Structure formats: C-alpha cells, structure tokens
Amino acid sequence: MSQRLLPGTTPAQGPRELTLGVMGGGQLGRMFVHAAQTMGYFTAVLDPDALSPAGRVSHHHIQTGYTDPAGLQELAERCVAITTEFENVPAQALAQLAASRPVSPSAAAVGIAQDRAAEKAHFVRCGVPCAPYAVIETQAQLDAVPDNLLPGILKTARMGYDGKGQARVRTRAELQEAWASMQQVPCVLEKMLPLQLECSVIVARGADGQCVHLPVQRNLHRDGILAVTEVYEGNLPPALAQRAQAAAKSIAEGLGYVGVLCVEFFVLDDSHPQAQGLGGLVVNEMAPRPHNSGHYSLDACDISQFELQVRTLAQLPLTPPRQHSAAVMLNLLGDIWPANGVPAWDQVLALPGAHLHLYGKANASKGRKMGHLTFTGASAADVRATALQAAAILGIEAF
C-alpha cells in the first residue's frame, strides 16, 4: 500500500465511496464493518450465507464461496483494500486478491496460522517457548513419539478451533486410537502441562512496522470455548504481562505481519516438575484477526481492536490504546437461550456498567456464539461482582 486510504469527501468531487472489504461474514466481520462505517468507509463482505451477521449490516454483500473466482473479482473491483475475519478463509483466495489489491494480513501469514505444525515452527524461530510437541503425519512418526510427550493433547494440524479437532491422550494406545478417529490426518501432539491460567495479547502492526498492543487479557475457557475475559490492573503479575506482550510482538514481527493479531498463552504452575525449564509462560496459538478475548475493548478502551483493524488496513496512524475502565466480558452462547423466548436482558441491563452486544444470529444452539456482555467500572472488584450477578441471572457458571 503506497498511501493512506482516507475516507470522507473532497471539496472538488464531493462524496466518494471508499470501500474496505472483508472475507467472512461472522460476528468479527460485523464488528469490523461497524468500526469502518463509523470512521466513514463503505464496506463489502464476501460470505456464502445470505443471513451472515456482517453481510446483513454491510453496504455490499457478495454472497458466494470464498474461492469463487467471480466473487473474488467483484470484491477486488469494489474495494481499495481487503482483510479477513477468520483464519480458515483459504489462503489462496487471499493471494489471488493480493494480486490486485492490498490484503492484510497476508496470505502467507494466514497460511502459517492455518497449520499448527508451521505455527509451532514459527514460534520456535521467534524464540518464544511453546509446549514440547511432535508432528505426526505418518505411522512411523507416531511410533517415534517420545514417552515424555504423554499424557498429551492430539490436535489436527488444520481446521481446529474452539476445542474442535482435539483429543486428550494418556497412553500410546489412546494416541493411536485418537489419530485413527481423526482419519490419520496430519496432527500435532502437545505435551500436557500443568496450567495455572490462560491469557492472550492482541497486537496491531502497520505496514511501516509500527506495533501497538492492548492490555493482557486473562481468559477462562470451558469445553474449549472462551467463557470469561478479565482485564484490569493486576489481572496478571506485571513482569509476566510484559513478557507476553513482548512475545506477541516478536511473533508479529517475525511474520512481517500487517493487521490485528491475537496470541494466546498458557501460564504454568511453576511448582510442578513438568513445568520446569519453560519459564512459566508458553505460547499456545495465534489468530490472524481480532479475537473474542478482545471484545471488551469496544467498551473499556479508547481504541477498540476493530478500529485498530481498520487503521492497519487503511494505513492510518496507530496510537497505543488506553484502557479507561476495568472490564469483565462474558461470552454469550446459545446454551443460555430458553426454549421459547430470550434471556432476561432487562434484568441484566439494570446492572451498572452493562454493555450488551448481540450478533444478529437467527438461531441459538449449544456452543454457538450469539453475543457478548461486557461490564465496565472503576474497580476490578466492582466489575467482577456485577458480572457474577449477570452470570447468575443468565444461568452461566460462576467464575
């Protein structure tokens, strides 16, 4: 990209339609579209679902598959720059778009994030510790797995998210059985480590190499899906938070990354023998896009992760986001929807500091992300107490 893409009007020409495109029509695309429109841009979404959350609010919805040549050509013709809202958009489609339009993140970066083996290798190159692992693509590689990697977690190398494509294995027999159940596709076996908690860091890196980050997010997952994010001063020891931020920036810089990147980490129980020598912090995975754990930034920061996504795409200046309120975010899954009706939003919105975000999805189902609820306030104690009240109202397990 050779110049900044400024929205708005020109005195001589009047209004102009400067359109930013996004591959994918889910809730992350929807929030990107909202941010872009707030800043004066037009938007276009490519997604095959006629009722996609992002497509329903965008100026243009190209309803087609992600590899459809005609659809990709139309997106390129409509847009001045294009991004993606989830990591499983085919990397080759992004490469095709990049032949005529600026695309960020790049197809190469997304391709690495789509393959756990390539991702792990990138972490190692960047000097960022990850759990001991082995790549399994053949029976011989499975037979050669070191004993000290068990018990472990077997993960498909591609297409796994929100706990999908994973199995815990304690013995070689269970490992063999799990790999067979996964149709013997390429996998990564990770050593199971004693976890104390999980956290994530969201960075935004511009084409000029400038890099900023949001505060470190402390996360709680249930059944492989993010349930709660807590962000406030003291949510993690300062030295640990600084290490996580530095590691996330190193990973982004190693990719030559442009865009918003989330890096997830495990904080280890240092007292456990299996955690020795790993420094108390290991990287889990990265997501080449905004992330569920960063949604609180819409209400608790002066610049959200989605505005950062717009800024990196349009090559606008990146200023360090400032968190102005302590925040707790609850993920709203379809599990909490009554059989006939909706959750008690009136009771929830009666609580101080409540911010409800629903994604416009028509049908609620178990495990489906329907929205999120963020509580902001002056202190961590206040927002945690209020968020726990909301959890009780909605039937969400306490944390």
Cα(162)–Cα(329) distance, integer angstroms: 17
Q: How far apart are CA 128 and CA 121, in angstroms?
A: 10
From residue 242, alpha-carbon distances to 256, 305, 398 in Å are 21, 19, 29
Find residue 83's DSSP bridge partners: 22
Instruction: Locate 325 and state its tokens.
Output: 């309120």
Looking at the DSSP bridge assignments, the partners of residue 34 are none
**Rounded to whole angstroms, how far apart are CA atoms 257 and 367?**
31
Residue closest to 357 by CA, chosen among 274, 298, 306 = 298
Burial 237-272 (b: 16+ CB within 10 A, else e): eeebbebbbebbbbbbebbebbbbbbbbbbbbeeee
Question: Residues annotated as binding site?
Answer: 116, 155, 160-166, 190-193, 198, 221, 284-285
For residue 344, the tally of other CB atoms under 10 A from its CB is 15
CA distance 396 to 300: 22
Binding residues for ATP: 116, 155, 160-166, 190-193, 198, 221, 284-285
Sign of the four-CA dihedral 22, 209, 279, 137:
positive
Number of H helices, E strands in the chain: 12, 19
Q: Dump the DSSP string for 106-144.
A: -HHHHHHHT-HHHHHHHHHHTT--B--EEEESSHHHHHT
Q: How far apart are CA 142 and CA 287, in angstroms?
A: 27
